Amino acid sequence: MVEISRTSKKNPFLTTNQRKNTTFYFKFFLSASLSFYFFTFFLLTHNPNLGLIHHHHYVSNSNAFASKALVQSEPNDFKLFVYDLPPEFNADWLSDGRCGGHLFASEVAIHRALLTSRVRCMDPYEADFFFVPVYVSCNFSSINGLPAIAHARPLLASAVAAISREFPFWNRSGGADHIFVASHDYGACFHAMEHEAMADGIPQFLKHSIILQTFGVKYKHPCQDVENILIPPYIPPESVEESVVHGRRRDIFAFFRGKMEVNPKNFGGRFYGKRVRTLIWKKFHRHRRFYIKRQRFAGYRSEISRSVFCLCPLGWAPWSPRLVESVALGCVPVIIADGIRLPFPDAVDWPGISLTVAERDVGKLGRILERVASTNLSTIQNNLWNPKNRQALLFHNPIQPHDATWQVIRTLAKKLDSSFRSSRLPNQLKNDT
């Protein structure tokens, strides 16, 4: 709306009638402007055909500015088609109630969010990218406690065979504009153990596609030798809200609860967590400022919300759900996983909100944390409570501005040159002229 500035002094060069006319026109202009503003706002928010604002993108009725930001900052020309696969590829797996809420459930969360996203298109011929919703992580626990994903490769191969048989889009691009989620330990290699994941590699039929995966390292690794977008593990947003202890001081200095063997077991020639967790236990479980527990506790997120530092050591893979839980609950994540690559570095201020400790220095944790606590802890905590860091790591349904699925969409928009449709548009325009 046009902003009109007014001065407190009368213009001495205007006559009395001119002043009256000026006052009249000003009141008329102001009234007309306000009427036009509210009429336009009513149309846009009550008729989605007249604008880009849709009700399902509102976080709340009072958050109109956030919804407007989502509309303005998402690419207007980006279109994504979601395949409607038979239920044996996704919906049937949801019969296990844990499927949609465990740490690998980003495959479910992203699918659900995209179904109501404004970038979704119903005509595949207009799409820049294609999302293939296959849930491979729901059957995630075997007898030995390791994720059971031996079915992943044949299930994905079957889905690719189905869409390439019924649609022309996979074959025309070789799958280069098709998107899959690989939210397991070693991502697109679809195995929980690194040595076997590296030996198997990425399935040949997926090597040209785009993989959304939780696994990422800064060095060369066969399990990220594919076009990929690093995503956070899934943490239910409602569990974060339920775990916040309002008005309570952080009375735990350094916290960890999780799998931690007193004597590390050799599994297939590998030790869990490279023995880092075992060393933490032996060195600090009786330390007066460390709260280290090996037993499961359903309410452990309330312990995170009471803690100053939260240890995030590697397990079988470098990443951990504790990275997201710590940021979401305001506990400084202490990352102990050499070479780890972290999700959405353009949106999350990882250097400003976390500490990184080399695996070889884990025995020095006490001194390291004490030094930080006495120097720049308040600065880190202030950075940590910037809501944009928390928002970028949580998946919501429907999509919220700047949340994890929103970050995926923004990253995909930067890859439009991978799209068969987008790469052909300049040639099509040239041929048309």
Q: Where are the domains of the chain?
A: 16-71, 77-234+396-432, 237-391
Length of the chain: 433
3-state secondary structure of 131: strand
Q: How many other C-beta atoms lie within 10 A of the C-beta of residue 125?
A: 9
Segments of the chain with pLDDT less than 50: 1-72, 142-144, 427-433
Q: What is the pLDDT of residue 246?
A: 66
Q: What is the pLDDT of residue 421?
A: 76
Q: What is the pLDDT of residue 153?
A: 95
- Cα angle: 426, vertex 179, 407; to 5 degrees: 85
Q: What is the pLDDT of residue 140?
A: 61
| Side-chain-side CA neighbours of residue 13 (13 Å) | 0
Cα dist from 421 to 27, 118, 140, 177, whole Å: 52, 19, 36, 9
Q: Output DSSP code: residue 8.
A: S
Q: What is the pLDDT of residue 280?
A: 96
Task: Please state which of the four CATH numbers 3.10.150.10, 3.40.50.2300, 3.40.50.2000, 3.40.50.300 is assigned to the domain occupying 237-391.
Answer: 3.40.50.2000
Tokens of 323: 């990275």
3-state secondary structure of 217: strand
Q: Tokens 């928002």, residue?
A: 391
Q: Are 195 and 203 in contact (CB under 8 A)?
A: no
